[in-house]
Structures are given as structure tokens and as C-alpha cells.
Amino acid sequence: MRHSLREILDHRDLLYMITWREIKVKYKQSVMGMLWAVLMPLVIVCAGLVVRYAFATASGTPLAMSDFTSVTVKAAPWAFFVSALRFGTNSLVTNANLVTKIYLPRLIFPLAAVFSQLIDFLIAGVVIGVVLGVARVGLSVYLLWLPVLLLSLIVLAMALAILFSAASLFFRDVKYLVEVFLTFAIFFTPVFYDSALFGRWAPVLLVNPVSPLLEGLSTTVILHQGPPVLWIVYSLFMTALLFTASVLMFRKLEPFFAESV
């Protein structure tokens, strides 16, 4: 584990170059350009409002501004997470020529795929910040939780990208399974809704380590309250565990990458 991280630090210039290449390839000959960074979160927000409206109609309560802002805050992080997993899973397969021909830490490829999605995340984050400012959400001391929550989400995306990228090199069906998983995962993650809506069943949703992070973002930014600390600690623990296990598995399988491409 320590050796892998040291290798990445020693090759950080190469990580930067591959990340920048991924960004340029993504936007090359794209008509909408960086507007794609806003489109995906916007679609999530619109879908979330439809779901919120359905819940509000069923319960007989009016749709509040907090419903809109809550979905808005969760949209960009979820869009980043989905894109990071999607591109990260295919990162070794799409760079097969580099994997087989020259030596470099292969761990760079899934990490670069995740880092390349941060540009979209930052652009969407700025737009969401403007929207929240117009909605007069305001600021609070609890925003100090944001770096912890966002960094944990990024590391969790890295862990799964590393895991799925190695698995997809040996079993090409993995990328299709990941697509199916990402398609339906939003219904089992509190993006469109809050976990409290399900009462005593809320802990079942929070077992997903992404869920406490999204709930924490909504709680700190919209409600100006501290996040559910126990669930955040659980999410941080699972993130660290997954990242460590993924890197160790990746290192163990790395000698067989070239013959499996």
C-alpha cells in the first residue's frame, strides 16, 4: 500500500499529463463543451423534483424550497460519482496500448479517470453555489464539514474505480454490470429524497457508504446542522477499508494485466 502511494507520488507528473489528456479527449469535438458538466446535474435535479412532488402529493404536503435545494446540493456529487466509476472502470481497457508496451504504475489510469471528472464537478459546484445564493440558503459554521465529506466521496470513487478497472480487464462483463448498477443505484441512494422519509428503514439506505455523505452535504449546507456523525464515521471507515483493499488487490493482479488485455 505504502509502496503504491509512493510510486504515484514519484510519477505525479505523469498522472497530471494523463489526467489532462483525459480531459482534452472528453471535450474534443464536443459541441456543448463544458456545458455537459451542468447538464447531468440539471437532469438529476429535474428528476428529483418530480419524485419530490410525487411524495409531497401523496402525503398532502406542499413542495417546499428546501426540497429543491436539497436535491440540488446532492446532484453534482452524485453525477461526479457516477462519471468517475463509469470512466474509471474502462480506464485500463481504453489505455491497453500503454498498459502492454511501457512500464508505469498502472494505478495512474483509474486515478486519472477520477481526477478528470473533478473539472466537471467544480464547474457544476460553482453553478450550484450561485443557485443556492439566489435561493438565499446562507452560510454557517457547519460548512467546515464540506472538505471532509467531499474528500471522502472522491476517495470512495477512487477505491471503486481501482477495483472495477482491474476486474474489467479480466472480465469484460464488469463494465456492463457497472452500468446496470449505476442506472438503478440512484433509487437506493438518497439523492431524490432524504433517508428520514423511510422512518425506521432509513439505516438500510445509509448502509451504502455514499448515502451518509450525501445526507451530510444536505444537512450541513441546507439545514445548517451537523451531519450524522456516527454514520459519517462509518462511511469514512468503509471508504478507507475499500481503498486499502482495492489498492492491494490491484497490486496483486498487476503482473497479469499485460497478458489479459
The three-state DSSP-derived secondary structure of 41-92 is HHHHHHHHHHHHHHHHHHHCCCCCHHHHHHHHHHHHHHHHHHHHHHHHHCHH
pLDDT for the residue numbered 171: 85
Helix (H, G, I), strand (E, B) or coil at 21: helix
Question: If 0-12 CB within 10 Å is exposed, 13-18 middle and 19+ buried, where does residue 107 land?
Answer: buried
Question: pLDDT tens digit string along 134-175?
Answer: 888 888 899 999 999 999 999 999 999 999 999 998 888 888
H/E stretch holding 126: helix 108-134
Mean pLDDT of 75-81: 92
| Mean pLDDT rounded to a whole number for the chain | 86
Cβ atoms of 92 and 107 closer than 8 Å: no
More confident call, 242 vs 4 = 242
Question: pLDDT tens digit string along 209-238?
Answer: 999 999 999 999 988 999 989 999 999 999
- How far apart (Å, rounded) are the C-alpha atoms in residues 183 and 177? 10
Kindly indicate the confidence band of residue 260, based on its pLDDT and cuts at 50, 70 and 90: low
Query: Looking at the predicted structure, is the pLDDT value of residue 118 above 60?
Result: yes
Query: Looking at the predicted structure, is the pLDDT value of residue 261 above 70?
Result: no
Cell numbers of 16, please? 497530471
Mean pLDDT of 232-249: 95
Mean pLDDT of 65-83: 87
DSSP of 141-205: GGGGGHHHHHHHHHHHHHHHHHHHHHHHHH-TTHHHHHHHHHHHHGGGTTTSS-GGGGGGGHHHH
Query: Looking at the predicted structure, is the pLDDT value of residue 196 above 90?
Result: no
Mean pLDDT of 201-209: 90
Mean pLDDT of 23-34: 68
Kindly indicate the confidence band of residue 31, based on its pLDDT and cuts at 50, 70 and 90: low
What DSSP designation does 107 have? T
Kindly indicate the confidence band of residue 49, based on its pLDDT and cuts at 50, 70 and 90: confident
Residue whose grid cell is 459554521: 141
The Cβ of residue 249 has, within 10 Å, a number of other Cβ atoms equal to 14
H/E stretch holding 252: helix 229-253
pLDDT for the residue numbered 32: 61
Cell numbers of 59, please? 402525503
First to last CA, the chain: 24
Cβ atoms of 101 and 258 closer than 8 Å: no
Cβ atoms of 179 and 209 closer than 8 Å: no
Query: Looking at the predicted structure, is the pLDDT value of residue 94 above 80?
Result: yes
